[in-house]
Structure 1
Amino acid sequence: MPNSILDIIAKDTNGKCYQSYKYCADEELKLPTLDYDDKGDSFTFIKNSCGETDTGLITTKSVKHVSEKIIDNKPLFQFFLDGSRRTYKIDDIEIHRNVYPIIAGQIGVACCQRKSPDNFKCIKVNNKLVLSLPRAANPNAAEAKLFFNNLKDKVNKHSSLEKRNLYFDKILSYDSRKLDDNTKYENLGIATIQDEMIETEKIIVASLSDENLINSSQYLIKDGSLQYKPMKSSNFKELIKYKNHYKSVVGVSKMFNPGLCVDNNGKSNADKIAELKLFHRTPVYKYCNGLVGNVYFGIWYVRIREKRHSSSPFAGVLKLEKILITDEEIENGLDSNEVDLITANIINERNPVCYGKDNRWANHLYPVYLTENFIKSKYLSDINFLNIF
């Protein structure tokens, strides 16, 4: 039996491993954050088209009175979804005289439910270990899925995994063609792990919807954007099913690209968002995302923290997204009363804060922060994970 997992990989891929230094790629590579929230080439702004029914709303509006009116009501948001991943550079492998990185990752996706202020618990969680290899690692390109599945099964029989009761859920593959100067194989490997995390998020949202846990009176906050790539599974190809799963889901982005904020004429709106007054929201803007089959989104911004208490003009501002489901919504936009209700509930989630615990505190909602921490608590330590190899 080969001495290590890397020996198994080298043998089955006809490659050669170099026993390179192993490290956590998220820290050591110093890569920019892989931000899927604001991809300018993934969505199209619909000019001269209002994203909500109140077509007379041109400037910002205060939602403070709505938030105060509902403060004693049952919160609209009862479910909170977050996904996280941690990636590692495990080794370098030579295949056909080219040298590629072997990337591994820990993925965690969880949904927590808040039944009452003192009853907050995880109801769905999916933790998985994955590897990402170059596509060139497969000697028989025509049977890639079969090859990587068989390789995964061999790897999972190694004693270093069995004695820890661990296993790899998947071996992913990244593009191994010659790259331009601005792209690194490490980035491509990490991106496959990010995509796998997103696919896991979609599956959990679908299950919550199918079980009617999320509905018109019990919404879900999904940390980050809703502007996904198309689902890989054939069970999710129907556009109507995709929309129905996200009918009661609001995407809340802590980080967004101000350069992509535009008004209804398509002109930059970054200055107005930076100058948003406390508890004010923008009008809803309509976008179309071709990545998921011409799905339309309503996108707006709200300030939940005073600017003077924040470290930057956009700290304390959240980007909110909701999918336009019906033909009426696509034509006329979201109901402005629903937008106000969603925004008011977001404002009422602003306390407590995680100040001193997370430098993103001004843009963080505490239930999302708790969900994120729960996921990360399930990770193996970096040392334990790297010692598997």
Structure 2
Amino acid sequence: MLALSKILKDKGINFYQSGKFNLDSTFYESFQDEGEVFDQVFETDHKDGDIISLTGNIPKSLFKYFLDGSRKTYKIGDTTIDNKFVPVVAGQIGVAVCKRNDNGTMKNLMLSRVNVISIFKRVQKDDLDEIKRKIEKIQVYGIPFELLPYNYKSPAGHNERLEKIENSAIATIQKKMSDMEILMLTDLVNKKLLKTNEMLIIDGSLQFMQTKINGKKVDDRLFLNVVGLSKTFNPNLRKILKTKNKEIGTILPNLKFGQRTPVYRYPIEGRVIGAWYLRIREPKNMKNPLDGIVKLEKIAINEEKENGFETGLIDNISKSILLERNVTCYGLDPRWANHIYPIYLTEQFLKSSFLSDIHFLNLMS
């Protein structure tokens, strides 16, 4: 058992064990690309129109490695700190990589797991350091715990819960997961595993990949052979089509199987990201207009920042994604139409390392 109440009580902090529950099923999570602003087409061969048909085939996918990060968050109680009544949030975090062998079979290559407790940061530093030391001595089934203090600034006005305070804790846990993804990517690069014909797919948007870890800048060259794949995306983005007020979601349903959009440029925090959309399933088999469409992203390196991506590279990446879509996980996951199978297997491998919600919450006393 965690005995968190005793650890906090020893430092004079009241801990109230209110109803424990999974936050992921309680709070609506917005699209990862909610605030994106594309500003131009960003590939070398600027083809006319908003839809590009892929021609020809490639004999083998460019991808060999598949990375997924996942987290589960829980409200486990409340505390009174710095004259505020604030929540305590716990979480399970994991990052995994699977590799495809030469014979086509999938292998579990890497797994990193940690459990976390996130409390409001306004605790005396010495007390916070001692709480951290005690929590980080705890292990459950060989998986360590870590303390992640979160900060929260009350919005102007009287309603301090205008934005859920829990979201600040969840954002802190999400950042920890992103840091773990960067560290695992760094390990792959240092081992010289990634190549132009043995690339890595990261499940999710690349825009949240940290630019710094512990104050040290992340070298964007880590992403040379990396593509991000998002199963969900914001269909209301504007300013990228010929009619500037037209939303991207108005053209995506018109994509036929094997068609993509041009690459669009998206600058963020000193990085430049190229993003495009690809239909990987026949529209006639879909329930919803955006089912079977994925969003792909690549971080621009060196001269790509100025010149954009080689159209031939983007086409070959897109053709590789089409090769990855089968065997499908039809019926096993509500997002099946936007899944590629190796990512689905990596997710299953990672999530099998998590404790059930009931089991995990029973540890939080």
What TM-score results when the alignment is normalised by the length of structure 2? 0.91
| Native 8 Å contact 1:133 1:172 kept in 2 | yes
Alignment of 1:96-115 (within 5 A): 96-115=82-101
Query: Which residue identity does 1:348 align to in structure 2?
Result: L
Structure 1, unaligned stretches of length 5 or more? Answer: none
Say whether 1:280 aligns with 2:259: yes
Say whether 1:367 aligns with 2:362: no
Q: Shift in Å at residue 377 of structure 1? A: 0.2
| Native 8 Å contact 2:89 2:166 kept in 1 | yes
Query: Which residue identity does 1:353 align to in structure 2?
Result: T
Aligned residue pairs: how many? 357
| Native 8 Å contact 1:303 1:318 kept in 2 | yes
Structure 2, unaligned stretches of length 5 or more? Answer: none
- CA deviations 1:124-174 (Å, max 9, x no partner) are 1110011100012x12xxx4xx654431222345xxx56754431x21122
Query: Which residue identity does 1:309 align to in structure 2?
Result: N
Residues 34 and 208 of structure 1, relative CA distance in 2, 3 Å threshold: farther
Say whether 1:167 aligns with 2:144: yes
* Alignment equivalent of 2:38, drawn from 18, 39, 45: 45
Q: Which residue of 1 aligns with 2:21?
A: 23
User: Which has more helix, going by share of residues?
Assistant: 1
Say whether 1:92 aligns with 2:62: no
What TM-score results when the alignment is normalised by the length of structure 1? 0.86
- CA deviations 1:234-269 (Å, max 9, x no partner) are 44x15xx2x210010011110000111543554433
User: 1:150 and 1:34 mapped to 2: Cα distance?
Assistant: 36
| Native 8 Å contact 2:136 2:147 kept in 1 | no
Alignment of 1:1-389 (within 5 A): 4-12=3-11, 14-27=12-25, 30-33=26-29, 35=31, 37-40=32-35, 43-46=36-39, 49-63=40-54, 65-66=55-56, 69-70=57-58, 73-136=59-122, 138-139=123-124, 143=125, 147-157=127-137, 161=138, 164-168=141-145, 170-179=146-155, 180-228=160-208, 229-235=210-216, 237=217, 241=219, 243-260=220-237, 262-265=239-242, 266-267=244-245, 268-290=247-269, 293=270, 295-327=271-303, 329-388=304-363, 389=365
- CA deviations 1:42-88 (Å, max 9, x no partner) are x5422xx431111233331221x33xx32xx3321000010000111
Displacement over 3 Å in runs of 4+: 146-149, 161-166, 264-267
Residues 178 and 200 of structure 1, relative CA distance in 2, 3 Å threshold: same
User: 2:318 and 2:238 mapped to 1: Cα distance?
Assistant: 18
Once superposed, what is the RMSD of the aligned Cα atoms?
A: 2.1
Query: Which residue identity does 1:351 align to in structure 2?
Result: N
| Native 8 Å contact 2:114 2:143 kept in 1 | no
Secondary structure at the aligned position of 1:107 is classed as strand
Q: Shift in Å at residue 26 of structure 1? A: 1.8
Residues 218 and 147 of structure 1, relative CA distance in 2, 3 Å threshold: farther
User: 1:360 and 1:104 mapped to 2: Cα distance?
Assistant: 26
Q: Shift in Å at residue 5 of structure 1? A: 2.0
Query: Which residue identity does 1:352 align to in structure 2?
Result: V
Residues 134 and 34 of structure 1, relative CA distance in 2, 3 Å threshold: farther
Residues 195 and 345 of structure 1, relative CA distance in 2, 3 Å threshold: same
Residues 245 and 333 of structure 1, relative CA distance in 2, 3 Å threshold: same
Identity of aligned residues (%): 38
- CA deviations 1:174-195 (Å, max 9, x no partner) are 2243344431111111111111
| Native 8 Å contact 2:113 2:143 kept in 1 | no
